[in-house]
Amino acid sequence: MVMANRAYFIETEPLEKAGEAGEKLVWNAVQGAFSQQECLGYWRYPIFSQQGKYRKEPDILLADRQLGLIIIEVKSIAIAQILNISGHQWEYQNYYTPTGNPYQQAENQLFSLLEYCDREPILKNKVMGRALIALPLITESEWQTRGFHQLPSNPPILFKNSLQNNLQNKPDILAAIAAISALRTAPKLTQEQWKLLLSILAGTPLYCKQNYPIFSKKQNRGQALIKLKEWVSEVDMQQERIAKQIPPGCQRIRGIAGSGKSVILCQKAAHIHLKYPEWKIALVFFSRSLYQPILEQLDRWLRYFSNDEVSYDPKNRNLLILHAWGSRKQPGFYSTLAWESGIPSLSANQTESKQPNEALAEACIHLLKEAAIPQLFDAILIDEGQDLISDRSKFEDKQPFYWLAYQSLRPTDPIHPQKRRLIWAYDEAQSLESLRIPSASELFGEDLGHLVTGRYLGGIKKSEILSKCYRIPHLILTAAHGIAMGLLRPQGMLTGTTRKEEWQAIGYEVTGKFYPQQKITLHRPPENSPNPIAKFWQGANIEFQIFRDRQQELSHLAHNLIHNLRYDHLRPSQQILVIVLGQFFEATQLETHVANFLMQQGLDIYLPSTSDCNILKSDRHNYHPDRFWWEGAITVSRIHRAKGHEADLVYIIGLDGIAKNESNIALRNQLFVALTRTRAWVNLSGIGSYPFYEEFRQVLRCGDTFNFTYKRPPQRELSVTDAGELLERYRLGRRNFRNADLENIQLPNACLKNVNLIGANLRGANLENTDLEGAKLIAADLTGAILKGANLHKTKLMQANLTRVDFQDVDLSSVILEIE
């Protein structure tokens, strides 16, 4: 969803509270006035200026290609509440503050944004800027009656009458704003300047300067990376909207690898903290080696949106970065709640399973049973949420970690205590432990299964799906999906989705239907994976080789690494990563073997968690679980520690560990995660002879288009849309889908007997020939829905919106339209 020559508007918080009618009037009028402009508008854009003890963000920010930046300060105040105006100082009565300087405030915010723009050479002094006030409760005549229009400091103002006229299709606001004298004048922005301005507002890093020299004139990987780092991408408006919105309750963010989930969560956490510094916020993750990259991301966003006035402070107890578990030296989410509850926290060795994710689930169950969980947090954001799922352990039919997190949150609305600000991001395909993809009802119980379906008042979505991938090169991503799902397996696919809508949601086009022995074509358009490295590098981005034995494989690896350092001018740390595949025991042995071999070749290596480079094993006194990189050394890692990290060039060793057990979905997931760690290139290798190798070669030959015969349902069905999840939950016996947002859903011929769709959005839904016997559609919105031939025997339609519903060939004699 990239902005292309059209207006786009983002509300960072719901504009539906009591007393916000004036602000909403201004916002709606501005949207109407600028709807045909090349424009990006924000309600409460999160760049914060210091106002006494508080930080204040602009009420309305408009970035218009022709008019530049426009700040509108909204004052929902009656004329009688203004006692006096002296200069820029306004005196109030019966208002939340005695004085204010709204125009000066808008000016300051504008100049702060212009300062950001001036840091880029092509925008310096090239962005026009205006500031004004909107008074939605005051007419122009009331203002003039008080004589305020005669004051020397009389600022540009949008009055109530002009705002209402605009809503009545009299678009004079745009002309009025254009006529305001600009505080900085400039011509219309060029396409390049406009693209850069949008990126600055999004906080996207641009024109990154190369911080190490490139000496070779011959093309090499280092040269290609310089061009890659200079690439300016279009702002993804879906990412921008999700990152800057603060939902009033739960929100689920699904996204394929490389789609920016972690960046979005860190930016969202920063915004929440800057706006509500008194809130207690936790940013939670599973892999301890992610501490540093998450800290750096969070610090970057805090600094960016506070103009370097705020940075991450580990002593600030209102903004916590927490490993899901915790340790004696470093508090984690579970251990913090255990301590606050007065219950001794358990270690993994004190649980029955001993495996990290299952052990954590056991520990959470123990805490939930033994204590009343204190409501410590106002917002919890969970990254890599798929790692916190348990296949074995449940607490009252709920996922233990998620239920613990939910219980530890304060309700956002005392009238609706089920509304709590739990935000989690995940990618089912990257799970290395659990092979289950629980729905919301499996996380929180059947009664709360609606928490992430539909939208909040004001339009913020409860579930988001990110389909574009920016980090991973196009053909590497398609290869990762093709091999991980087993699309070309002779025996049939292992995992994946069998619904067209699900494939489309993750960025693929589908031809054919998933019926046994039917031909299927899957194609991923290049624009859904816009990483441009292929334009800057003439060679292959993915290489695959099989060797006679391990010695030969590692000799080839060492030769390549030496070439990368000497001739490609790549830095060993963070630009190169070696990943070892396989089951735990054999992967551990291979990791040590690879590291030792490379050291013998004169290469400096680093094994995650050790105390220094070139150390093959650390003892408990020199164990650093948060450390993944070491400056000057190449990291060699098993997949579990590499997860969440990325590098420009990734070597994947030991593919035979997957090949000899190719039907194991968890092992294929290892390969998927390994392939998606790269920003530019990947080199895979293994030993021996296995049929799996030919399958992988076929996947590489297919590029971004897979043609195969669908043979039978996969071992694991993936669902990413509300519709797919609904059908899967229904198949498992679930029936509660209250308030689900199912607009335009395609469910023809489905069996949905006795389903609960109270309050659901079914506008434009295709329910042709669907069995809805006994279904509850009370207060559902069925505007324009197709119910042709549907079974509505004893279906409850009280208070439902039935405008333009197609009831052709439907027996309505037993439909229940009145309260019984």
- Judged by DSSP in three states, 653 sits in strand
In which band, very low, low, confident or very high, does the pLDDT at 241 lie, cut at 50, 70 and 90? very high
Do 451 and 463 form a contact (C-beta atoms < 8 A)?
Answer: no
Residue of 363, 423, 316, 450 whose CA lies nearest to 737: 450
587 is written with which tokens? 């992967």
- Judged by DSSP in three states, 125 sits in coil
Q: Which is higher by pLDDT, 620 or 248? A: 248
Maximum Cα–Cα distance across the chain: 92
When the pLDDT of each residue in the chain is averaged and rounded to a whole number, the result is: 90
d(CA 762, CA 818): 20
Residue of 155, 157, 158, 159 whose CA lies nearest to 138: 159
Do 456 and 741 form a contact (C-beta atoms < 8 A)?
Answer: no
Structure confidence at residue 14 (pLDDT): 87
Task: Determine how β-strand 576-580 pairs with β-strand 509-511.
Answer: unpaired
Alpha carbon 206 to chain centroid, angstroms:
20
In which band, very low, low, confident or very high, does the pLDDT at 678 lie, cut at 50, 70 and 90? very high
Give the single-character DSSP code of 314: T
In which band, very low, low, confident or very high, does the pLDDT at 214 lie, cut at 50, 70 and 90? very low
Q: What is the pLDDT of residues 509-531, one digit of tens each?
A: 999 999 999 999 999 999 999 99
Q: Is the pLDDT of residue 168 over 80?
A: no
d(CA 384, CA 382): 7
The H or E element spanning position 692 is helix 691-702
What one-letter code names the amino acid at 624? Answer: H
> Average of pLDDT values for 464-470?
91
Q: Is the pLDDT of residue 680 over 50?
A: yes
Structure confidence at residue 762 (pLDDT): 93
**Where do the H-state alpha helices sit in 542-583?**
550-566, 572-575
- Judged by DSSP in three states, 208 sits in coil
Q: What is the pLDDT of residues 642-663, one digit of tens each?
A: 988 999 999 999 999 999 999 9
Name the residue with tokens 């033994």: 370
199 to each of 67, 186, 203, how far by Cα in Å? 17, 19, 6
In which band, very low, low, confident or very high, does the pLDDT at 721 lie, cut at 50, 70 and 90? confident
Structure confidence at residue 417 (pLDDT): 93
What one-letter code names the amino acid at 79? Answer: I
- Judged by DSSP in three states, 388 sits in helix
| Beta pairing partners, 253 | 425, 464
d(CA 350, CA 16): 49
Beta strands in 4-87 (DSSP E): 8-11, 39-43, 49-51, 54-56, 60-64, 68-74, 82-86
d(CA 762, CA 767): 9
